[in-house]
Structure formats: C-alpha cells, structure tokens
Amino acid sequence: MTDWIAFIALITGALFVLVSAIGLLRLPDLFMRMHATTKTTSLGITLILIGVLITFPTWSVLLKGLLIIAFIFLTSPLGAHMISKAGYLLGIKKWDRYVRDDLNRDHHLSKE
C-alpha cells in the first residue's frame, strides 16, 4: 500500500517538473515563464520528497525532509519575486496583449 503511494507521488512530482519545463519552453514572456516554473517546481519537488519520506521511514530522514520542504516553500517565491522585479526594472520586452500594468501605474518604474 505504501509502495503504491510512493509510486504515485514520484510519478506525479516528475510530471509536474516536466510540465513546468514545457511551460518554460512554450510561454511567450518572462513573467509567464516564471509563473510556470516557480509554483509547479516547488510542488513537484515536494511530491518527490514525500515519496522519499515514505520509502525511508526513519526520524532523521523525516526531519531533514521536512526542513527541505519548509525551506523550498519559503525561498522559492522570494527568489521569483526578486528576479521578476529585476527583469521589470531592466525593461525587458513584455507580451503585447497584456491588459493592465498596476506596478507601472503605481510607481512609474518601467522604462518604456
């Protein structure tokens, strides 16, 4: 039974990472690519880690695994925020079909 749960967790996590790679390749813009990569990757790595935790049920593995999960969920949005703001301040080319841009309206940060 636990074998099957670990199997499903591993396959689902790897599929999430594959979907984020396809999104990174196919989406038209830096911000959309970042939307594809960050959330999906943290969920996929967490699922793979859950598979590892089910496979090796000891206390040290459980402690380290929960530490890694907490750290990834804390730092992945922070890094994504900093990179996206850096790209925005660099004035990279945005997709031409965006409707509104609240950051530019509030702070006048964009170069264009």
- Judged by the rule CB under 8 A, the positions of this chain that interact with other proteins are 3-4, 6-8, 10-11, 13-15, 17-18, 20-22, 24-25, 30, 33-34, 37, 41, 44-45, 48-49, 51-52, 55-56, 58, 60-61, 64-65, 67-68, 71-72, 75-76, 78-80, 82-87, 89-90, 92-93
DSSP label at residue 53: H
Contacts of 18 (CB under 8 A, 6+ apart): none
Report whether 76 contacts 42 (CB < 8 A): yes
Half-sphere exposure of 37 (CA within 13 A, CB side): 18
**3-state secondary structure at position 105:** helix
In the complex, minimum distance from the CB of residue 34 to other proteins, in angstroms, rounded to a whole number: 6
Nearer to other proteins, 59 or 100 (CB): 59
In the complex, minimum distance from the CB of residue 104 to other proteins, in angstroms, rounded to a whole number: 15
